[in-house]
Amino acid sequence: MSHNRQYTDDFTSVNVDSDDNVSAQSPQSSSDPKIQKLKQHVNEVSNIMQQNIDKILERGQRLDHLEDRSEMLSNRADEFRVGARRVSRKMWWQNTRVNIFIAIVVTVIILIIVLSITSSTTGK
């Protein structure tokens, strides 16, 4: 059931029905060029604002996607840092073992040379 109420002022009359539908009626005809120009301008501004809202929503989605990617990159960087530290320690120990082995071999060779020289001088 719809009851219409009408409000008027000096410039326009507005019809309001019980469903809160509002329609404005101008005393001037809708074919007035100024009104048409104004309506066209309002439509243009409305379209521009709608495009701006769409762009903002797209930008928000891109920012969310970028945030997810940066968080994933940060996690992978942490994993890389841990793995690099582990490999670095492993390589340090391996290098240390090789150096110790070389030192032992050189020491043994020097001992063999020294012993062979001392045994040959004492045996003469």
In this prediction, residue 121 carries a pLDDT of: 79
pTM of the predicted protein model: 0.46
Same domain, yes or no, for 23 and 42? no
Same domain, yes or no, for 60 and 47? yes
CA distance 94 to 98: 6
Residue 115 is assigned to a structural domain of this protein: no
Number of domains in the chain: 2
Same domain, yes or no, for 18 and 45? no
Kindly report, residue by residue over 6-63, the tens digit of the pLDDT.
444 444 444 545 444 444 454 445 578 999 999 999 999 999 999 999 999 999 999 9
Same domain, yes or no, for 22 and 75? no
More confident residue, 7 or 115: 115
CA distance 100 to 118: 26
Residue 70 is assigned to a structural domain of this protein: yes
Residue 85 is assigned to a structural domain of this protein: yes
Q: What is the secondary structure of 29-89 as a DSSP string?
A: -TT-HHHHHHHHHHHHHHHHHHHHHHHHHHHHHHHHHHHHHHHHHHHHHHHHHHHHHHHHH
Q: By residue range, what is the domain housing residue 23?
A: 1-29
Residue 108 is assigned to a structural domain of this protein: no
Residue 12 is assigned to a structural domain of this protein: yes
Same domain, yes or no, for 88 and 35? yes
In this prediction, residue 122 carries a pLDDT of: 74
Same domain, yes or no, for 45 and 84? yes
CA distance 52 to 63: 16
Same domain, yes or no, for 38 and 95? yes
Kindly report, residue by residue over 56-105, the tens digit of the pLDDT.
999 999 999 999 999 999 999 999 999 999 999 999 999 999 999 999 99
In this prediction, residue 30 carries a pLDDT of: 59
Q: Beta 4-8 vs 13-17: how paired, if at all?
A: antiparallel
